Amino acid sequence: MRDNLIPDLTATTNLEAADVLVIGLITADSETEDGEPTLAIGTDLLSDAQAEALSTALTAVGAKGSDGEVTRIPAPADLPVRAVLAVGLGDADALDADPHRRAEKVRRAAGNAARSLTAGESVVSTLSTVDLAGAAEGFALGAYRFDEFQAKKSEPVSAVALVSDDADAAATVARSAAIARAVCVARDFVNTPPSHLYPDEFATRAADLASASGLEVEILEDEQLRAGGYGGIVGVGKGSSRPPRLVRLTYTPASPADPKSVALVGKGVTFDTGGISIKPAAGMEAMTSDMGGAAAVIAATVLAADLQLPVRVTATVPMAENMPSSTAQRPGDVLTQYGGTTVEVLNTDAEGRLILADAIVRACEDEPDYLIDTATLTGAQMVALGTRTPGVMGTEEFRDRVAALSRQAGENGWAMPFPEELRADLKSRVADLANVTNHRWGGMLSAGIFLREFVADGVQWAHVDVAGPAFNQGGGWGYTGKGGTGVPVRTITAVIEDIAANG
């Protein structure tokens, strides 16, 4: 993977000399007479005269401090910088209400700043006086660029100094940098075109990344998958000239001796044409992102090792390319999943659940305490929740825990139900299950209900559908640029950390 995924982040106690000072701006209180926005900056960093001059200059050019606003001005006299970049944080109540909400506000503001900065500029920021971790993650994620296939590179800012008087500032920044780097690893996987990232190459890159962090690696190739009975993975991949893979990555902490265990499963369809049930041509290019779940669990597993979390984490990652050809599976075919369940394939474009089912059964053989699977699984997720809100399903207690932690992490997961009447619609005339229902209603939920059939009894399980959130097809916003987002790396990491702390 690339060495320059994120800028160099450092903590400092002083307002250092730099090209650009990035500060937060809070919306003016409507009850005040002057209507000037408030500078969000630590005490003693500016003199009263400097603060007043800066506030006056920003007000003069119309800065309001609203969410998403970015205002750049020449620095007033006596500041050790050439320019000031003020980013809106919204109203003060939003910053005071909840620490997780405050962190996300700062994360987005820092991301907006990073996306507007240019290469070669030295940067110092006081957003870190509002929330240090949020500022560090926001700058790192907002500075992300993917230009591997462009002749003219778009260089981001390379270094940011974050002002903080926290005694643990260096450790906080280092942790935030590790998290941001993992998110950007997932983004790189998603953004790499399918001409260059196919199952074998994806498996190789994942293995190299994991080995560098000391993880155990196992890769099952096409013949091994056939011999092992992985009918879902083999069935989805059989239409492609580039055969499927199953990658297993295992992180075992040095202590405790008997840690809690978390199994991760991620959908790794490196390109999805829909197979014989082919998708419309318009927008099909976005299906390069159909391995976003796999990218996230690979990155999160490596991150668990890098953070030395006291939890055993095993990723089981099926990888296939879903193509139409004379060898592709057909609507009406019956395949036998790993573990013996037979499935009638009514729609070859509902392929993600077929490879996930194999991987879930294999992951459950390890008898994990918890299982999280994630996938760009259904267009119905976007119909139900939009493009920025993952749907979280599964065993109720763990589902709600994952959704809550996802919102705290800024990835906005939302708990969804499993209506029991939908299970009957997955009955098949000839097999144990059909891979789709005979109607369009509750498509995200019925996909989750299908996967539930393969989860072992007693395993606390959450399924996270990130069909929209994993890939941003619109313009950049906050710390999210166009293309791969890295969702849900931060959610998975938050859950593993919570399990480490609370069991």
Residue 44: CB partners within 8 Å, gap ≥ 6?
none
pLDDT for the residue 31: 45
pLDDT for the residue 118: 86
Helix (H, G, I), strand (E, B) or coil at 329: coil
CA dist 306 and 308 (Å) reads: 5
**Would you state the torsion angle of the CA atoms of residues 312, 486, 477, 118, taken in this order, to the nearest 10 degrees?**
100
Residue 328 pLDDT greater than 80, yes or no: yes
**DSSP character at residue 260:** -
Give the relative orientation of helices 489-502 and 292-306 as an angle to the nearest 10 degrees.
Answer: 40
Residue 50 one-letter amino acid: Q
CA dist 266 and 453 (Å) reads: 17
**Would you state the torsion angle of the CA atoms of residues 80, 86, 91, 95, taken in this order, to the nearest 10 degrees?**
-60
Cα end-to-end distance, the chain, whole Å: 33
Lowest mean pLDDT among 97-101, 245-249, 301-305: 97-101
How big is the chain, counted in residues? 503
pLDDT for the residue 4: 83
pLDDT for the residue 349: 98
Residue 160: CB partners within 8 Å, gap ≥ 6?
7, 8, 9, 10, 114, 123, 124, 125, 139
Q: Of 101, 175, 226, 279, which is the active-site residue?
A: 279
Lowest mean pLDDT among 114-118, 305-309, 351-355: 114-118
Cβ–Cβ under 8 Å, residues 110 and 157: no
42-57: per-residue pLDDT in tens? 768 988 899 999 999 9
Residue 403 pLDDT greater than 70, yes or no: yes
CA dist 486 and 493 (Å) reads: 12
Q: Which domains does the chain have, with CATH numbers?
A: 8-180 (3.40.220.10), 198-502 (3.40.630.10)
Cβ–Cβ under 8 Å, residues 113 and 87: yes
140-151: per-residue pLDDT in tens? 999 999 999 998
pLDDT for the residue 85: 97
Confidence of residue 35 (pLDDT cuts 50, 70, 90): low
Average pLDDT, the chain: 95
CB-facing half-sphere around the CA of 347: CA atoms within 13 A: 19
pLDDT for the residue 78: 85
269-284: per-residue pLDDT in tens? 999 999 999 999 999 9
pLDDT for the residue 154: 72
Helix (H, G, I), strand (E, B) or coil at 462: strand
Confidence of residue 378 (pLDDT cuts 50, 70, 90): very high
Helix (H, G, I), strand (E, B) or coil at 322: strand
Cβ–Cβ under 8 Å, residues 15 and 47: no
101 part of the active site:
no
Burial class (CB in 10 A: 0-12, 13-18, 19+), 269: buried
Task: Considering only the C-alpha atoms of the chain, give the largest distance between any 2 of them, rounded to a whole number of Å.
Answer: 80
**DSSP character at residue 13:** S
Residue 34 pLDDT greater than 80, yes or no: no
Cβ–Cβ under 8 Å, residues 110 and 135: yes
282-325: per-residue pLDDT in tens? 999 999 999 999 999 999 999 999 999 999 999 999 999 999 99
66-89: per-residue pLDDT in tens? 999 999 999 987 899 999 999 999
245 part of the active site:
no
Residue 33 pLDDT greater than 50, yes or no: no
The stretches of 192-282 forming alpha helices (DSSP H) are 199-212, 222-228, 231-237
Residue 444 pLDDT greater than 60, yes or no: yes
CA dist 306 and 3 (Å) reads: 16
Residue 490 pLDDT greater than 50, yes or no: yes
Cβ–Cβ under 8 Å, residues 327 and 321: no
The stretches of 120-279 forming alpha helices (DSSP H) are 132-142, 169-191, 199-212, 222-228, 231-237
pLDDT for the residue 44: 82
Lowest mean pLDDT among 25-29, 152-156, 436-440, 472-476: 152-156
Q: Of 353, 399, 401, 407, which is the active-site residue?
A: 353
Cβ–Cβ under 8 Å, residues 232 and 337: yes
Q: What are phi and psi of 268, to 5 degrees?
A: -120, 55
Confidence of residue 152 (pLDDT cuts 50, 70, 90): confident
Structure tokens, 281: 């041509």
Residue 307: CB partners within 8 Å, gap ≥ 6?
175, 178, 493, 497
Cis peptide before 193 (omega within 30 of 0): no
Q: What are phi and psi of 387, to 5 degrees?
A: -95, 0
Helix (H, G, I), strand (E, B) or coil at 134: helix
Rounded mean pLDDT, 28-47: 73
